[in-house]
Amino acid sequence: MSDNQQINVLLVGGGGREHALAWKLKQSPRVGTIYSTDTANPGLADLCKPIDFPFDLKDPFRIQRWCIANRITLAVIGPEEPLCAGLADMLAGDTRAGGGLGGAVPHVFGPSKEAAQLEGNKEFAKQIMRAAQVPTAEARSFTDFESAKQYAQTRPEPPVIKAAGLAKGKGVFVPATPAEALAALERIMLKREFGDAGNVVLLEERLKGREVSVFALVDGRTIYVLECCQDHKRLRNGAQGPNTGGMGSLCPTLAIDDAMMARVQREILVPTIDALKREGVDYRGVLYAGLMLTHAGPKVLEFNVRFGDPECQTLMARWQGDLAEHLIAVADRRLDTIDLSWSPGVSICVVLAAEGYPDNPRKGAVITGIDEAAKVPGVQVFHAGTRRDEQGRIVVAGGRVLSNVIG
């Protein structure tokens, strides 16, 4: 691509993470129009143009045609669902993805469907980790309720219970008692609350320690480790209440030092990418390792194939340089050429959630004070579960509502 060519972006996804990505992409001098698949998010509506057709992954030909007609040069895929469904392959022109128009988008940021199994299929992830000898929690998988129940009862303490498939971040239970473990198994395997995502269930050893989120850009050849973040999962202050999608984040975290980061790269990231390569899987995008720093060293809790939310908001607040160029370099296997640095200091994100979150978020409440908050020096307000009502007011429309970043 020549240096003065304008970059039109298709940004897929409509949460706080995507608002932060759009905000940073907008700062790239060569970015022209950013099209968003979800401009019902008022933050995205301010920065992006809406796409003018229903974005349906079952109609790849229409998506491809639209990308070509609108001269999309970079596609950035935020959430895991479209990645696991093969959107990156479809846009990049892998004909196995069912598309007719190969190569609709020259630069696609996000891993292929095969590589996205690292998040979409926890059994696959465990197999890769075993093959790579990557430290992780001991786990066994089950398809039958009675066998899973019996196994859980024989464990010295209740195991962590996970639906193996994609469950919108809700298919993981960390039970404190055997009764809670049983209830979790019933929800996944008998009531089938997560549908087919619960066909296979993993029962895992419970790891103890501090949790950190390590992100790396990966272009199939080169790994570029980003600043380490910490995500606060529990709903209430003082690490109390149920696990959530993330109530806040910190970047960088003091929980991990340079020596430990080097160890994570050596013992976890590099062997995982190598093991994928041996399986014929080419990983290009961002790899997110959720780690527990245990007494025996760092161990993988899970892999994700996208930026974390709300970790992305804190990463974007400190990201220096041209994000669009960086993401294109990943897509083009030129990661070794990028010039990425971090603004000094720490960025902190605090998530505002709806009353009743995470189980029953109550929608409709009017939110005020956003403009005043955004005027505070160093503060960015990113929209997640918000909408504009008929009178133009911002109202609560989801669980996690706003991410306020100071950085």
Please, what is the minimum distance in Å from the beta carbon of residue 211 to ligand AMP? 5
Is there binding between residue 209 and ligand AMP (CB under 6 A)? no
| Stretch binding ligand AMP (CB under 6 A), from 62-70, 125-133, 199-207, 363-371 | 199-207
280, 237 Cβ separation under 8 angstroms: no
* Contacted entry of ligand GLY, ligand AMP, none for residue 172, CB cut-off 5 to 8 Å set by kind: ligand AMP
How big is the CA angle at 249 (ends 320 and 115), to the nearest 5 degrees? Answer: 75
User: Which of ligand GLY, ligand AMP, none is residue 206 near (CB under 5 to 8 Å by kind)?
Assistant: ligand AMP
Q: Pick between residue 222 and residue 243 the one whose CB is nearest to ligand GLY.
A: 243
Residue 311 binds ligand GLY, judged by CB under 6 A = yes
Q: Which of 275, 291, 301, 405 binds ligand AMP (CB under 6 A)?
A: 301
For ligand GLY, the binding residue among 37, 272, 304, 386 (CB under 6 A) is 304
Q: How far is residue 344's CA from residue 105's CA, in Å, rounded to a whole number?
A: 35
Using Cβ positions, the residue closest to ligand AMP within the complex turns out to be 302
> Which one, 60 or 248, has the nearer CB to ligand GLY?
248
Based on CB atoms, which residue is closest to ligand GLY, 38 or 231?
Answer: 231
> CB under 8 Å to 294, separation ≥6 — which residues?
207, 208, 209
226 close to 253: Cβ distance less than 8 angstroms: no
Distance CA(240)–CA(249), nearest Å, equals 16
296: left (phi over 0), alpha (psi -120 to 50) or beta: alpha
Q: Is 101 helix (H, G, I), strand (E, B) or coil?
A: coil
Q: Closer to ligand AMP by CB, 157 or 355: give it.
A: 157
Given its phi and psi angles, is residue 358 left (phi above 0), alpha (psi -120 to 50 degrees) or beta? alpha
Q: Binding ligand AMP by CB under 6 A: which of 103, 290, 321, 361?
A: 290
H-only helix segments in 155-230: 178-185
77 contributes a contact to ligand AMP by CB under 6 A: no
Instruction: Determine how β-strand 160-163 pairs with β-strand 107-109.
Output: unpaired
Residue 75 or 305: which CB sits closer to ligand AMP?
305
Partner whose binding site includes residue 308, from ligand GLY, ligand AMP, none (CB under 5 to 8 Å by kind): ligand GLY
**3-class SS at 216?**
strand
* DSSP 8-state code for residue 163: E
Residues 151 and 142: their CA atoms lie apart, in Å, by: 9
Paired tokens of 6 = 């304008």
Applying CB under 6 A, which of residues 171, 175, 220, 308 lies at the interface with ligand GLY?
308
Selected from 20, 84, 87, 137, the binder of ligand AMP by CB under 6 A is 137
Helix (H) or strand (E) holding 145: helix 145-154
Q: At a CB cut-off of 8 Å and minimum separation 6, what does 360 contact?
A: none
Which residues in 237-276 contact ligand AMP (CB under 6 A)? 243
The encoded tokens of residue 96 equal 């196995």
Identity of the residue numbered 143: T
134 alpha carbon, distance to own chain's centre: 21
Find the shortest distance in angstroms from Cβ 246 to ligand GLY. Answer: 3
Size of the site for ligand GLY (CB under 6 A): 8
Q: 290 or 321, CB closer to ligand AMP?
A: 290
Closest approach, Cβ 90 to ligand GLY, in A, equals: 23
Residue 130 Cβ vs ligand GLY, minimum distance, rounded to whole Å: 23
Residue placing its CB nearer to ligand GLY in the complex, 168 or 362:
168
| Nearest in space to 272 (alpha carbons), one of 162, 124, 76, 172 | 124
Taking CB under 6 A as the binding criterion, the range among 90-98, 202-210, 325-333, 373-381 that sits at the site for ligand AMP is 202-210
- For tokens 């005043």, what's the residue? 372
- Selected from 140, 206, 334, 387, the binder of ligand AMP by CB under 6 A is 206
- Site residues for ligand GLY per CB under 6 A: 169, 231, 245-246, 304, 308-309, 311
Q: What residues line the site for ligand AMP (CB under 6 A)?
A: 137, 160, 162, 172, 174, 204, 206-207, 211, 233, 243, 290, 301-302
